[in-house]
């Protein structure tokens, strides 16, 4: 590999965005990716279940401002309005919630976000989200389970209130036809990416940086590193000289949560009396696990489930069969003991926490770490070393759109440093 103006470490959304911008600016670029594919924590499996299934990121959140929306449309990729086509079904035990109960449920969602925003805006030190949320109402525990284990992929007790409030998502949600991982693969076509190239050491103290690994060595005038925060905290890449203590602390203050996505394929024509795009949840008590189940997405003969938080980490250790057993039990609890038979044996199960190149899904800030994203996103050495990824975005953390925007911001800093 020839020496380059810009080295990008990692070919996930942030790395691809940075590389595209630098190439468009006429700079020589090399992207080194440890995996055998591009996309990072967005990966579409199109064969196992007979239809595309996103093992990682799925939605284009905050679609009105998401930079990937116009890029997907420019490629001719159909974007489906996930909110419009979703058929929401909420269960209390084995029965569906009544219209009056659903109104209470919706009010509990609104109350949760209002209370969190008000508490975050009040004077005082940072504290756990769990200290301020509503409790005692019939739906408060269900909303908390959604907001913590499901959406944020970790318990609210461990999360910074200020960061959580700053990263609450709004806007619409779109789903790319063919999968979000497949979209990123399309956006990476033609870029100078070398896969299977794991950077083990980065010497960045001089006017040039040198990356070293099994691929040999590569010199670059500027570097953008998009490794997940868990890998940065574990020093998966040895930085020489070491990163400033504030940057090391920022990576530690932004750990990744855990989540499992599990897909099942229909065994026959039985659709369990559910419409296409049926999104089901159930009322849970405080401390009880919530497992959302989605049936027949886009009319395809599939169902998928989401398991988040410490339970996801535990099930990853136990193996795919344990996760499948839990999901089948959840299907039976909502739809009857015979319902799991509508699905063929075996499941497609993600394992991001067990993956040594991710060690989790996406970041949350620990209590007291609300400023960590800004610290991690601040370029070093006059822009010659910058970090990018979902953890570096102040408001769209945890999303592909946030990772993409942070990659572009890092590229702008690098291009300015390159003159």
Q: What is the CATH number of the domain that holds 85?
A: 3.90.660.10
Give domain status of residue 354, yes or no: no
2 pLDDT band, cuts 50/70/90, is confident
Out of 318, 349, 380, a domain closes at 349
Q: What is the pLDDT of residue 206?
A: 86
Residues 91 and 156 in one domain: yes
Out of 316, 349, 382, a domain closes at 349
Q: What is the pLDDT of residue 92?
A: 96
* Angle, CA of 62, 66 and 72, to the nearest 5°: 125
Kindly state the average pLDDT of the residues 250-257: 98
Give domain status of residue 124, yes or no: yes
Residues 116 and 151 in one domain: yes
Contacts of residue 92, Cβ cutoff 8 Å, sequence gap at least 6? 101, 282, 283
Kindly state the average pLDDT of the residues 222-246: 98
Kindly state the average pLDDT of the residues 378-397: 97
Give domain status of residue 189, yes or no: yes
Flag whether pLDDT at 124 surpasses 90: yes
Residues 310 and 330 in one domain: yes
Residues 134 and 187 in one domain: no
The whole-angstrom separation of Cα 98 and Cα 92 is 9
Residues 265 and 379 in one domain: no
Kindly state the average pLDDT of the residues 175-182: 97
CATH of the domain at 10: 3.50.50.60
Spatial contact of 305 and 53, defined as CB atoms under 8 Å apart: no
Residues 249 and 185 in one domain: yes
Give me the percent of the chain exceeding a pLDDT of 70: 100
Predicted TM-score of the model (pTM): 0.97
Joined together, the tokens standing for residue 136 give: 């005692």
Cα 305 from chain centroid (whole Å): 15
Give domain status of residue 133, yes or no: yes
Residues 84 and 170 in one domain: yes
Give me the percent of the chain exceeding a pLDDT of 90: 98
Give domain status of residue 31, yes or no: yes
Residues 129 and 211 in one domain: no
pLDDT digits (tens, 9 = 90+) for 310-330: 999 999 999 999 999 999 999
Which residues on neighbouring strands pair with residue 307, listed in sequence order? Answer: 260
Kindly give the pairing relationship between strand 278-282 and strand 29-33: unpaired
Per the model's pLDDT, the better-predicted residue between 1 and 285 turns out to be: 285
Q: What is the pLDDT of residue 202?
A: 98
Domain count, the chain: 2
Out of 288, 316, 349, a domain closes at 349
Residues 100 and 163 in one domain: yes
Give domain status of residue 131, yes or no: yes
1 pLDDT band, cuts 50/70/90, is confident
Flag whether pLDDT at 120 surpasses 80: yes
Spatial contact of 45 and 171, defined as CB atoms under 8 Å apart: no
Residues 96 and 44 in one domain: no
Flag whether pLDDT at 404 surpasses 80: yes
Flag whether pLDDT at 391 surpasses 80: yes
Flag whether pLDDT at 106 surpasses 90: yes
Kindly state the average pLDDT of the residues 176-190: 97
Give domain status of residue 355, yes or no: no
Kindly state the average pLDDT of the residues 369-375: 97
Tell me how far apart the terminal alpha carbons of the chain are, to the nearest angstrom.
23
- Cα maximum dimension of the chain: 67
Residues 282 and 381 in one domain: no
Q: What is the pLDDT of residue 209?
A: 97
Spatial contact of 56 and 44, defined as CB atoms under 8 Å apart: no
Structural domain containing residue 54? 4-78+179-254+365-418
SS (H, E, C) the chain: CCCEEEEEECCCHHHHHHHHHHHHCCCCEEEEECCCCCCCCCCEECCCCCCCEECCCCCECCCCCCCHHHHHHHCCCCEEEHHHHCEEEEEECCEECCHHHHHHHHHHHHHHHHHHHHHHHCCCCCCEHHHCCCCCCCCHHHHHHHHHHHHHCCCHHHCEHHHHHHCCCCCCCEEECCCHHHHHHHHCCCCCEEECCCEEEEECCCCCEEEEECCEEEEEEEEEECCCHHHHHCCCCEEECCCCHHHHHHHHCCCECCEEEEEEEECCCCCCCCCCCEEEEECCCCCCCCCCEEECHHHCCEEEEEEECHHHHHHHHHCHHHHHHHHHHHHHHHHCCCHHHHECCCCEECCCCCCCCCCCCCECCCCCCCCHHHHHHCCEHHHCEEECCHHHCCCCCCCHHHHHHHHHHHHHHHHHHHC
Give domain status of residue 358, yes or no: no
Kindly state the average pLDDT of the residues 4-29: 98
Residues 201 and 299 in one domain: no
Contacts of residue 83, Cβ cutoff 8 Å, sequence gap at least 6? 172, 173
């Amino acid at each position: 590999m020839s020496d380059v103006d810009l080295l990008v470490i990692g070919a996930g959304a942030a790395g691809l965005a940075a590389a595209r911008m630098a190439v468009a600016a006429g700079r020589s670029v090399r992207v080194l990716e440890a995996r055998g594919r591009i996309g990072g924590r967005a990966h579409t499996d199109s064969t196992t279940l007979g239809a595309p299934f996103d093992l990682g990121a799925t939605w284009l959140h905050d679609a009105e401002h998401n930079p990937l929306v116009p890029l997907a449309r420019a490629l001719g990729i159909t974007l489906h309005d996930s909110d419009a086509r979703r058929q929401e079904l909420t269960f209390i035990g084995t029965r569906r919630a009544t219209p009056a109960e659903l109104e209470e449920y919706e009010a509990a969602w609104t109350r949760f976000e209002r209370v969190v925003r008000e508490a975050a805006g009040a004077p005082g030190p940072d504290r756990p989200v769990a200290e301020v949320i509503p409790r005692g109402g019939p739906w408060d525990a269900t909303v908390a389970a959604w907001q913590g284990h499901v959406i944020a992929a970790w318990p609210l007790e461990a999360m910074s209130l200020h960061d959580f409030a700053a990263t609450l998502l709004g806007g619409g949600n779109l789903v790319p036809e063919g999968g979000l991982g497949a979209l990123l693969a399309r956006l990476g076509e033609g870029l100078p990416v070398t896969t299977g190239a794991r950077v083990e050491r980065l010497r960045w103290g001089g006017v040039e940086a040198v990356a070293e690994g099994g691929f040999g060595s590569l010199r670059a005038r500027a570097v953008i590193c998009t490794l997940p925060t868990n890998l940065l905290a574990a020093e998966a890449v040895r930085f020489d000289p070491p990163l400033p203590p504030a940057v090391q602390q920022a990576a530690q203050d932004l750990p990744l949560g855990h989540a499992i996505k599990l897909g099942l394929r229909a065994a026959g024509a039985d659709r369990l009396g559910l419409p296409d795009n049926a999104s089901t949840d159930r009322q849970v008590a405080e401390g009880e696990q919530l497992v959302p189940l989605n049936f027949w997405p886009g009319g395809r003969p599939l169902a998928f489930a989401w398991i988040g938080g410490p339970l996801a980490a535990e099930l990853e250790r136990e193996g795919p069969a344990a996760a499948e057993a839990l999901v089948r039990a959840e299907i039976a609890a909502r739809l009857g003991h015979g319902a799991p038979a509508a699905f063929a044996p075996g499941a497609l199960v993600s394992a991001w926490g067990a993956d040594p190149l991710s060690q989790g899904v996406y970041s949350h800030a620990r209590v007291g770490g609300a400023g960590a994203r800004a610290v991690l996103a601040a370029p070093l050495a006059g822009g010659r070393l910058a970090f990018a990824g979902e953890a570096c975005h102040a408001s769209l953390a945890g999303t592909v759109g946030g990772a993409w925007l942070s990659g572009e911001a890092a590229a702008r800093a690098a291009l300015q440093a390159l003159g």
